[in-house]
Structure 1
Amino acid sequence: MMTANSKTRTQNVLSMRGADISQWPRTDMYSTKAVHLTTEMDCDKLPDRFPAILKLDNGSGATGACVVESRVELKREFCQITSSLRNDSDFPGIGLSHGNSMMTMEFYGGTEHNVDVIIYDNKLIAAFITDSGITRRPYFIATARRMPSFLSEDKQARLIEAAYRCCLQIGLSDGTFNVEFKLTENGPKLLEINSRMGGYCLRAWLRKLYGIDMMLYSMMIASGISPYVRTHPVDKILIGVMVIPALHAKILKEEPLRTLLYSMIEKEEIVFLQFYKLSENLPPYDDPFGNIAVSGSTSQEAKLKLMEVCKVLDIDQPNYQVEQFIQNF
């Protein structure tokens, strides 16, 4: 748990131990240049390879995570982030109770995927892949999700194996875990392992599509009960977009948009999940407060429906272009 809680430690332990993933190079999956940063002077430890990822070592939700193009930019962003995110009172719930140290690692291109795995007594019980949308650089805050994955069955199987082996290699033998990858031309690259089930909309979507509850399985495993996971066939695709306070708070605060939103929910035209209650003060880094999703029998159908909803609710905007986020879906 402590290894998984530190993104630096996760990468460094795995790069030393390796995980035997069939058909993919085992030593090429992890960042061998993960560096832990506690002071500005630590920024000089990073090998001179940019762009690089800078993020909180114990953080969640990609709050404060960004891409940096130079050592000067790395130091500037490190100072800015650590001065604004000092402890849990600055941004409750993202892990600042464990401190605000940061880490850097290699930046990877490719598509991003979340693998939620259920493991009991070192055995893989089940796993589910969710695709992530393109983020708004330089930051990595979630923009969109798709379930089930658009990856081929072969790639899904190997990504699940990679997630499972990575969990075992750091000692996560019992529980529900969330593993984040970038899938590059050279195979998967591990971003991080969360020693918990996936956040945001993932639990609700898994219940809706597969009829399973990750929280139930977490509690069963914690009680020493081996879960039996039986899923029903999935005949639809869910695609959803995150809504952020700075641009989309009006869908809850302005009467015409709120009425339209609730009407769509009542007619089951959309699935709306709200992650936290909005306040008058905008949170730093504009973390999503909710997700609006639609379903379709094909990717094209779901994407067209989502774009229509986003235009009607004024979610799609010049500086929040939903079509770009979901272009890989």
Structure 2
Amino acid sequence: MGELSKTIGEKGELLVNNFLSIIGWNNFQDGESIDCHLADNHKRAGTKKRNTHGIDVFCSFRSQMQDYTLDNIVLSVKYTSKPYPANPSSLFKEHFKDLAQTMECYMKSDLRAQNNEDYEMSGINGANDTGVLFWLTNDKQSEQDVVSKVCNINLDKTLSFSTIQIVDNSRAAFIYDSISYVKQNFVDSDYYFHYAFSSSNYKDPDIEKYGKVLPVEYLTSDLIPFRLVDKLSKKVSFCLASREGFLEETINRLLYLASDVSQDFTGDFIFLFPDYDVLEHESIVKRAKRLQKNSNSSLNVRVLSYGNDFRNLINE
């Protein structure tokens, strides 16, 4: 049984490592170990004290969402061959607590100090330290949003951490399916993640407008924005993948959002939904486009489904 658990754990880490490569989080460190600075408080059941914390994956790169800031990301991978529990709260609390305590000691670690020092000469003057819990299962029926079942639970108030994001099967599937669809269906274009500009990221000259690295802030977003750049003509299209299903309200909101965000570089929009159906939804899209064109006649809009269903061939 122990050997099986070890094998499952190794497969889970391999899966997450490959997933990180897809979202551009390359050059990460895995299998790190840091000292525990709160040996008594962080001890596990049945032990006298704790000496170390294991870090499954550590990533660090310049933030594209905040000026002169380094994103340090500590990942914990929890992978199982079984379905999510029907009542996941208890197990979730265990996983969350383990990562939160790791983050608490990471803040005092040599790993963090050395990593931040490595970036000192690049103009960075601050760091965001984020924990990411990948809670995944190999069970093919477990695509449900388990996070929604635990989002309102009461956490241990003694835990000390800044930010922890949760990626479950549903979230991982959305990111993977969106990127895979873009790569496979727009082969004549190079694709990039679009970086939204705000009052938090307009001063830093090293911040790009788009790139190959998915910002950590997008990891739990219900929208993933892409820029598609035609390899020959260099024409740019703005693509938004939505985790939410298709609704008239949603398409209207995305049209306004996209036209506002991309007005300086394109009028070509592509919206991706998991369940868009031409027969059911095309008339709704036409109405939304007509209303939007009353204010801007230069918009070119396409709506597609990234869901893996042979019926999507009708969209091709």
**Shorter-chain TM band:** under 0.3
* Structure of higher CA gyration radius: 2
Which one has more relative contact order, counting CA pairs under 8 Å at least 6 apart?
A: 1
